[in-house]
Structure 1
Amino acid sequence: MKIIDYPDRELMALSLADRLASELSETLRMQGHASLCLPGGTTPGPVFDTLSGVDLDWAKVAVFLNDERWVPEDNPRSNTALLRARFLRGPAAAARLIPLYAAAPTPEDRLDELTAGITPHLPISVLLLGMGADMHTASLFPGADRLAQALAPDAPALMALRADAAGEPRITLTARVLKAALRLHILITGADKRAAIERAASLPLEQAPVRAVLSHATIHWAE
């Protein structure tokens, strides 16, 4: 686990956006296509604002979320809606969005279809994750109903999970897919999350699911 400390959040957002853009550009040069996997929530918004304006061949980039709440885009808790508003605009509007939600009563109803959409874009070229103070990442929550399966080496690419802390049912990439990313970054802010991610390294995996990816990750932190 490598931690990069930044003097403030603004510099972190600018530096991280530049690094993600450089990694995408390198992948496009080498492979002709790339995949970019991004978190929901408000913390990465400033990164999205900068990255979306970078001059890349975005039409050759597939973009998808780490996870999604099982709600439609007109719901204020939709990560997809946030991604459209903060990232898929300007030059980045040309990127191809791979959905993690489709209208149905439960995520299980559309799981096979959504998995088929994601699979051609694996392994992930560039992955940005967040982490909660409870040490969850994506929707791998401590106490989730199928967490052990989602953390297993033979997990499917996508799973539906439910946890008290999650609110709605979730659909999430599993640990196997996350840690197979070619470039893996975690963005956190505040003293509580810094302490949590350092503590996670010594805790059992099901208590601290983020530990599944720590050995592969660069952590970006600012107070």
Structure 2
Amino acid sequence: MNIIEYADREMLVMNVANKLAGKLKSALSGNDRATLAVPGGSTPGPIFEMLSATDLDWARVDVMLTDERWVGEDDERSNARLVKEHLLTGHAAAARFIPFYRDALTPAEGAEQVAPSLAAYMPLSVALMGMGDDMHTASLFPGDPGLPAALANDAPLLCPVYPESQSTPRVTLPAHVLNGALNKHLVIFGSEKLAALKRAEKLSVKEAPISALLDDLEVYWAE
């Protein structure tokens, strides 16, 4: 894990967007397509907006979420909705979005249907992740009964999870998919999250799921 600290959030946003764009350009220089996995939540919004203005060959970029709440895109809780509003605009509107949600199916049914189709996009070229104060990342939550299955090396490429701490069931990329990304990036804000991340190094993966992904992880932090 390599932690890069920034003087303020604006500088972080600018630098991370530029770094992600550079990694995507590098991936596209040697491959027909590149896959970008991104989180939901409020933290990445400004990064998305700056990244979307980058002039690269977005028509060759496939975008998917690291995890999704099991709600339709018209729901304000939808991560797909956030990505479409903040990332898939401007130049990035040409990118191909890979949705996870399937109407009328349960999370387990939807994940089972979607998982095989994700093989074509592996390994991820670039994975951008966030982390909660509880040291969860994607929808890998500590204490979740479904966590061991999502941490397994042979987990399906999309896993249903029902975190007791959350009001909505979800689907998530498993740890081995996130770990298999050619470039792994984590953005966190605030001293509490930085302390939690450092604490995670000494905890088990069941207590701190982010600890499963620390090897070769680029971490960007600002207060």
Aligned to 1:74: 74
Q: TM-score, normalised by structure 1?
A: 0.98
Q: Which region of structure 1 is more displaced relative to structure 2, 152-161 or 68-77?
A: 152-161
Aligned-residue sequence identity (percent) comes to 48
Q: Which region of structure 1 is more displaced relative to structure 2, 106-115 or 179-188?
A: 106-115
CA contact (8 A) 1:24 1:126 kept: yes
Aligned to 2:139: 139
Give the count of matched residue pairs: 223
**Structure 2 unmatched runs, 5+:** none
Where has structure 1 moved over 6 Å in runs of 4 or more? none
Q: Which region of structure 1 is more displaced relative to structure 2, 167-176 or 100-109?
A: 100-109
Post-superposition Cα deviations, 1:164-204, rounded to whole Å, max 9, x if no partner, equal 22221100000010001000000100011000000001001
Q: TM-score, normalised by structure 2?
A: 0.98
Aligned to 1:99: 99
Q: CA deviation at 1:105?
A: 4.1
Aligned to 2:201: 201
Aligned to 2:110: 110
Aligned to 1:211: 211
AA of the residue aligned to 1:200: A
Post-superposition Cα deviations, 1:58-79, rounded to whole Å, max 9, x if no partner, equal 0100000000000011111000
Q: Distance in 1 between matches of 2:115 and 2:98?
A: 10
Q: Distance in 1 between matches of 2:220 and 2:51?
A: 16
AA of the residue aligned to 1:7: A
**Structure 1 unmatched runs, 5+:** none
Q: CA deviation at 1:104?
A: 2.2
Post-superposition Cα deviations, 1:89-139, rounded to whole Å, max 9, x if no partner, equal 001000000011111241112223211332200100001000000000000
State the Cα RMSD in Å. Answer: 0.9
Aligned to 2:7: 7
Q: Distance in 2 between matches of 1:37 and 1:111?
A: 16
Aligned to 2:164: 164
